[in-house]
A and B are shown apart, each in its own frame.
Chain A
Amino acid sequence: NAGVMQNPRHLVRRRGQEARLRCSPMKGHSHVYWYRQLPEEGLKFMVYLQKENIIDESGMPKERFSAEFPKEGPSILRIQQVVRGDSAAYFCASSPWGQVVSYEQYFGPGTRLTVT
């Protein structure tokens, strides 16, 4: 059973370009979460999605950032017109349907975005 997959692992973008980060959850998981880790900080929650629905986007910056989890295919975190401050590690996590018993989430290896 493959774990959470993220690609690319490393992404370099120039200021003003778009960044697309992909996340394939574990098999059977229908809940996806995105987190961002800035240097010297812990992971910060960005958004929680289920298939075709955004459940909680309270951690998403109001502009330039969007996320989706379509019926088919991976979840996508999109950052438009990237700026240097977007440079960070972006982690995706997933959990099984009915996350009632525990809050445990399974994390991917992350995508390190560098904006030059």
Chain B
Amino acid sequence: DQQVKQNSPSLSVQEGRISILNCDYTNSMFDYFLWYKKYPAEGPTFLISISSIKDKNEDGRFTVFLNKSAKHLSLHIVPSQPGDSAVYFCIAGGTSYGKLTFGQGTILTVHP
């Protein structure tokens, strides 16, 4: 039962263009969402988050949008840089204190 779904296993983007990573969730009890980035042989690192009371949160080149009615969120990276190439996880929290539910991840490749 995949409660957080990232339907695109991979995404390839040219440097300088926008990267859009999408995520859908099924559990309406989720009230907090995070995006983490993961490089090979390293643990995931926090990128940006959004509470369910908001519909947008921006941090530099990264913006997360939340559409609660559609149970959909997206991460926009603009402009994309080669160093952004990594696996991006969409993560949800709120159903149980401390427990995070991960999506399967999307491999982003930014070409120079």
Contact = CB atoms under 8 A, between A and B. Distances in A.
A31 B98 contact: yes
Interface stretch (B11-19, B40-48, B60-68, B74-82): B40-48
A4 B43 CA distance: 9
Contact of B100 (A103, A106, A109): A103
A33 B44 CA distance: 13
A110 interface: yes
A91 to B, nearest CB: 6
Contacts of A1: none
A82 B32 CA distance: 35
Interface residues of B, number: 25
Contact of A44 (B93, B97, B102, B105): B102
Nearest to B105: A42
Contact of B99 (A48, A102, A108): A48
Contacts of A55: 97-98
A58 B99 contact: yes
B46 A106 contact: yes
Interface of A: 4, 31, 33, 35, 40-45, 48, 55-56, 58-59, 91, 93, 95, 99, 102-110
Given A43-B44, A56-B99, 15 more contacts: A33-B99, A33-B100, A40-B104, A42-B6, A42-B89, A55-B97, A59-B99, A91-B44, A95-B98, A103-B32, A103-B34, A103-B49, A103-B94, A105-B100, A109-B41
Interface of B: 4, 6, 32, 34, 36, 41-46, 49, 89, 93-94, 96-105
5 contacts: A42-B104, A95-B98, A102-B49, A104-B49, A108-B43
